[in-house]
């Protein structure tokens, strides 16, 4: 028995490595994205407490963000100038000017009588809101930048939902946590997004907060201190063109109502689950260094543009793939079976290496079951 106990750490390590790989295979079997396809490795944020400064050709700062950046990523400023990142050295991301974005007219969506709001017919439209990084919080108000499964972003989401409901939308605000805040958060939140999309909402928002100096997002609108909002789009996403058009239309409407509320549009590696529907956006509402009440006011002002853009839209695209929501579906059982089979294979491989032959493996197992282990079972009887 002792020789088996001595081997347990090595056996456990072998099984852990293979089960980790099997978990990724299980996610794939369940219809979820794998790390490195946009939901995991891409979509990460800096974990060292620092942030990138995005600069133009004249070394003038354009923006600041904790999102991991890559050459080829792009940033559209509040003035609609489009820059492409050409290189990253340390905390500095250099860019080149691509050009100025063409003006976007929100033609039929704007109310003919003017004003800042147009009510949406009751029950006609739905908006979905969720939070991939459910720990994200606001230091000045929450006392910390991260609260496991109960982040301050939930309250900002509540303010967003309340304003949209006041405009006549039906709002589905998911408070499901997706912690920990790691590379697989987007894999976990993909289930939530797919579930929300089953009712065909007109649009879906994944609400976050950034990690940057407070002044990056700070602004004043109508004499009230607020935080600005930034869009983040995944370039590795088949709906990128539609998502970008949607973001531009909201920005155009917001620029008419409250100029400067939209900080800009960041296009980076990944997909952020935006492949599920053409009208899906990740929004950063302030940073960890901003006050939460300022973020709530900022998202409230931001909400004014939504009915203007979605005024003629009743439903959105439902996901075109079956996504599991419960643990009793076929995909989950397939994933569990793969994990069990691969773990068994890992254990058999370990025993084979130590025994030198399959006959030796069988002899060891038989001795173990019929020897000390069997005697201990008999003693307990």
DSSP assignments along 154-209, one per residue: HHHHHHHHHHHHHTT-EEEE------S-STTHHHHHHHHHHHHHTT--SEEEEEEE
Q: Mark whether 300 and 180 lie in a shared domain.
A: yes
Residue 377 neighbours by CB distance under 10 Å: 10
* Dihedral angle, C-alpha 208, 205, 131, 159, nearest 10 °: 80
**Is 45 among the domain residues?**
no
Same domain for 293 and 240? yes
Spatial separation of the C-alpha atoms in residues 139 and 137, rounded to whole Å = 6
pLDDT for residue 317: 53
Same domain, 360 and 213: no
The confidence score (pLDDT) of residue 313 equals 57
Output the pLDDT for position 105: 77
DSSP 129: E
- Per the domain annotation, does 224 fall within a domain? yes
Check whether residue 305 and residue 334 sit in a common domain.
Answer: no
The boundaries of the domain holding residue 163 are 95-309
Is 36 within the bounds of a domain?
Answer: no
* 349 lies in the same domain as 268: no
Q: Is residue 139 assigned to a domain?
A: yes
Task: Extract the residue ranges of the chain whose pLDDT is less than 70.
Answer: 1-43, 107-124, 312-356, 360-362, 364-381
Query: Quick one: pLDDT at residue 352?
Result: 60
DSSP code, position 362? H
**Tokens representing 210?**
């950034």
Structural domain includes residue 274: yes
Q: Is residue 203 part of a domain?
A: yes
**Which residues lie closer than 8 Å to 26 by C-beta, 6 or more apart?**
332, 334, 335, 336, 338, 339
pLDDT digits (tens, 9 = 90+) for 277-310: 999 999 999 999 999 999 999 999 999 999 999 9
| Bridge partner residues of 104 (DSSP) | none
Q: What is the per-residue pLDDT across 154-189, written as a single tens digit (0 to 9) for each?
A: 999 999 999 999 999 999 999 999 999 998 999 999
Q: Provide the CATH number for the domain around residue 196.
A: 3.40.630.40
Q: Smallest Cα–Cα separation from 298: which of 133, 110, 160?
A: 160
Verify that 337 and 301 share a domain, yes or no. no
- Domain end call among 309, 343, 372: 309
* Shared domain check, 287 and 148: yes
Q: Are 139 and 241 contained in the same domain?
A: yes
274 & 353 share domain = no
Q: Are 69 and 88 a contacting pair, CB within 8 Å?
A: yes
Instruction: Name the domain boundary from 274, 309, 344.
Output: 309
95 membership: H or E segment, kind and range = strand 92-100
Kindly give the residue spans of alpha helices, DSSP state H, lying in the chain. Answer: 2-29, 139-142, 153-166, 185-197, 214-217, 240-257, 292-303, 306-309, 330-355, 358-370, 372-380
> Is residue 40 included in any domain, yes or no?
no
State the pLDDT at residue 42. 54
R_g of the chain computed on alpha carbons: 25
pLDDT at 311: 79
Number of domains composing the chain: 2
The answer to whether residues 159 and 194 belong to one domain is yes
Question: Per the domain annotation, does 317 fall within a domain?
Answer: no
Going by C-alpha positions, the residue among 75, 48, 79 that lies closest to residue 64 is 75
pTM, entire model: 0.73
The pLDDT value recorded for residue 328 is 34
Angle at 54 between CA 287 and CA 184, to 5 degrees: 55
Whether 132 and 272 share a structural domain = yes
Whether residues 281 and 334 share a domain: the answer is no
């Amino acid at each position: 028995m002792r020789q088996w106990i001595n081997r347990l750490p090595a056996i456990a390590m072998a099984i852990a490595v293979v089960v980790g790989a099997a978990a990724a295979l299980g996610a794939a079997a369940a219809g979820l994205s794998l790390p490195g396809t946009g939901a995991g490795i891409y979509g990460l944020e800096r974990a060292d407490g620092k942030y990138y400064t995005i600069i133009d050709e004249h070394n003038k700062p354009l923006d600041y963000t904790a999102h991991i950046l890559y050459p080829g990523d792009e940033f559209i400023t509040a003035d609609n100038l489009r820059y492409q990142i050409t290189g990253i050295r340390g905390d500095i991301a250099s860019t080149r000017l691509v050009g100025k974005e063409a003006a976007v007219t929100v033609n039929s969506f704007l109310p003919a009588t003017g004003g800042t709001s147009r009510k949406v017919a009751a029950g006609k439209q739905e908006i979905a809101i969720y939070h991939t990084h459910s720990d994200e919080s606001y230091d000045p108000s929450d006392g910390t930048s991260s609260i496991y499964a109960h982040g301050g972003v939930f309250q900002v989401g509540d303010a967003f939902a309340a304003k949209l409901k006041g405009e006549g939308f039906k709002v589905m605000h998911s408070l499901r946590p997706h912690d920990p805040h790691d590379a697989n958060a987007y894999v976990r939140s993909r289930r939530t997004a797919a579930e929300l999309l089953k009712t065909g909402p007109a649009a879906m928002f994944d609400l976050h907060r950034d990690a940057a100096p407070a002044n990056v997002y700070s602004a004043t609108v109508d004499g009230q201190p607020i935080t600005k909002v930034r869009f983040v789009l995944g370039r590795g996403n088949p709906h990128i063109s539609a998502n970008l058009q949607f973001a531009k239309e909201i920005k155009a409407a917001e620029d008419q109502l409250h100029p400067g509320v939209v900080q800009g549009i960041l296009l980076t590696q990944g997909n952020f689950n935006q492949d599920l529907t053409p009208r899906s956006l990740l929004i950063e509402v302030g940073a960890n260094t901003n006050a939460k009440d300022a973020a709530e006011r900022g998202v409230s002002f931001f909400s004014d543009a939504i009915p203007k853009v979605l005024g003629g839209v009743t439903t959105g695209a439902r996901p075109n793939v079956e996504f599991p929501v419960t643990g009793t579906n076929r995909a989950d059982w397939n994933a569990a079976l793969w994990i069990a089979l691969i773990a068994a294979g890992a254990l058999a491989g370990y025993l084979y290496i130590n025994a030198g032959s399959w006959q030796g493996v069988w002899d060891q197992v038989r001795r173990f079951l019929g020897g000390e282990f069997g005697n201990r079972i008999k003693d307990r009887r």
